[in-house]
A and B are shown apart, each in its own frame.
Chain A
Amino acid sequence: EAGVTQFPSHSVIEKGQTVTLRCDPISGHDNLYWYRRVMGKEIKFLLHFVKESKQDESGMPNNRFLAERTGGTYSTLKVQPAELEDSGVYFCASSLVPGQGAGEQFFGPGTRLTVL
């Protein structure tokens, strides 16, 4: 079974440009999450989709970030315009159900974003 995949693995852009990150969750997983780790900091939650609906977007830092999950399959995270402080690693995770306790989330390898 294929795991969570993310594209691209690395992205280097200039301040003010736009970048779109893609996440393909494990097939059949209704729950999709985005997290990020900015340099030297902890991994932080960004948002949670249940199918195509945003369940919780309390972690989105500002309106320069837009996440979509059309059709409830893959998801995209767009940063427009990118700022220097957006540099970091963006992780996507999916799960079958949130589950009791923590449940188990399956993480992708992440996209390393560098904003120059």
Chain B
Amino acid sequence: LAKTTQPISMDSYEGQEVNITCSHNNIATNDYITWYQQFPSQGPRFIIQGYKTKVTNEVASLFIPADRKSSTLSLPRVSLSDTAVYYCLVGVFYNQGGKLIFGQGTELSVKP
């Protein structure tokens, strides 16, 4: 399983764009990159998933360079409600039986 490394914490202000980078140097050919978000006192919530290049949805964008050894979650114009822990997960989870392997995540704090 590919190990992931991401910053423990980040601070931002309302209205700014936030980019959280995750390193996964030993990512395998069949691995996907997935990000989850967790608010206090809630379970994690799926945000976005990608394999290569760029993926965008209504919540975020995911940028994956050609070598796939890192990925960047981009949150446009954050608000106070985006304060949460963000987890980067890498793997072909179907072949792992579907289980998710969480790291320590990045605690994002958005200030007014």
Contacts and interface: CB of A to CB of B under 8 A. Distances in A.
A107 B44 contact: yes
Contacts of A93: 43, 100
B94 A45 contact: no
Give the dominant DSSP class at B's interface: loop
Interface stretch (B18-26, B45-53, B74-82): B45-53
A104 interface: yes
Interface of B: 31-34, 41-46, 49, 51, 89, 91-94, 97-105
14 contacts: A35-B102, A43-B100, A56-B97, A98-B93, A99-B98, A100-B92, A101-B31, A101-B32, A101-B94, A102-B49, A102-B93, A103-B94, A104-B49, A107-B44
Interface of A: 4, 31, 33, 35, 42-45, 48, 55-56, 59, 91-93, 95, 98-110
